[in-house]
Amino acid sequence: MTTRELGHNAAPRVSFFNDPVIRGIIYQVVVVAILVGFIFWIIGNTAANLAAQNKTTGFDFLWKTAGFDISFTLLPWSRGSYYWEAFLVGLINTLLVAFIGIIFATILGFTIGIARLSSNFIISSLATVYVELIRNIPLLLQLFFWYFAVLKAMPAVRNSIALPLDSFINQRGIFVPRPIPDDQFGFVWIGLALAIAAVVFLRQWAKKRLEATGQRFPVFLTSVVILLGVTGLLWFISGASVTFEPPVLERFNFKGGLALPPEFAALVFGLTIYTAAFIAETVRGGIQSVSRGQTEAAQSLGLKDNDRLRLVIVPQAMRVIVPPLTSQYLNLTKNSSLGAAIGYPELVNVFAGTSLNQTGRAIECIAITMLVYLCFSLITSAIMNWYNARVKLVER
């Protein structure tokens, strides 16, 4: 082959600026430079405006006395507490609502989602009405309904509605007995932790045994025996005891027990019911994504409806359910900030609201609050991604 033929077959050279790789790098550098310049302009402009208004910046305000009351707190609080303690109170209150809401919304959502696929017309119709009704009403309006139309419409303290187990409900909230463990109860918590570790090990062993031999081990029954046996044994040996302090109606209010304010109850009810409607649709879609042949194969093996759903359908549907379920958990956690509208002292209300108004440190308070919600999202996503990696199908 001649030199002329080689030159004829070679690809034509592209100029430096027409090279798509070089051009892509240049575009990225320009975008990054513009973004960095914009950030520095925002910082400089903000600093200049604060200086013109004689406002200082920094986080030294966190160690100053807050001087305000908080209606509901799990931590010791007084007017002499510091702003960093107010931040912790709001953080704990937010985590409490999010944790309880996620648990109950998951249980209710899975129940409603499975009910939507029921062969019983009444059950499936009621589940459909619930989902379509709750999803199309704004969450804030639902919170107002639970707070003003339900809990605040309850009778006064003297006419409280008696509930089972020495519990009462009135317009001031829900009053339930308060558990008081003694000093020896720490051994019971240690036993519970050991029992949970044993159950986790048992589940891993049973899974490997099933894959190796095809024989199923009664994991659930054995786990219950381990949990009850270990904790019960340590309870008996240590002599630990728990007493319950019931709420007692006095002249103007209940004394003793555990008081759940109406703001807390309304926020938990609203978040649970609202998020469960979206989780139900996620569960329904995940179950319907499983091939019909899997159901027919389970029927051919003689599995009952509950066993077919629990052992065959749901485990395969989880790989579809988990990713959108993560988004619903994140939404529930972030939607807890709407508790400020009904007076619940969560993070936005306490720190990005009252603390910000009293200190004037808007940038610091908002930045810390945004960072907290970002951490919530990243931690929740990491946990759900870990679980998703465990339940996903492994190709062979």
Radius of gyration of the chain (CA): 29
Q: pLDDT per residue over 266-304, tens digit each?
A: 999 999 999 999 999 999 988 888 877 777 777 777 777
Q: pLDDT per residue over 20-34, tens digit each?
A: 777 778 888 889 999
Report whether pLDDT(2) > 60.
no
The mean of the pLDDT values for the chain is: 84
Topology of domain 83-182+241-276+321-391, CATH = MetI-like fold (1.10.3720)
Long-range CB contacts (within 8 A, 24+) of 85-89: 86/350, 86/351, 86/354, 86/355, 87/62, 87/347, 87/350, 87/351, 87/355, 87/368, 89/345, 89/350
Phi/psi region, residue 72 (left: phi>0; alpha: psi -120 to 50; beta: rest), is beta
Report whether pLDDT(57) > 80.
no
Q: Read off the pLDDT band of 12 (50, 70, 90).
A: low
Q: pLDDT per residue over 330-354, tens digit each?
A: 999 999 999 989 989 999 999 988 8
Stated pTM of the model: 0.80
Report whether pLDDT(203) > 90.
no
Q: pLDDT per residue over 250-271, tens digit each?
A: 878 888 888 889 999 999 999 9
User: Which of 295, 359, 391 is CA-nearest to residue 58?
Assistant: 359
More confident residue, 390 or 361: 361
Q: pLDDT per residue over 70-109, tens digit each?
A: 888 888 888 889 999 999 999 999 999 999 999 999 999 9
Domain locations along the chain: 3-52, 83-182+241-276+321-391
Which of 37-46, 78-87, 206-215 holds the top average pLDDT? 78-87
Helices (H) and strands (E) in the chain, counts: 14, 8
Report whether pLDDT(363) > 80.
yes
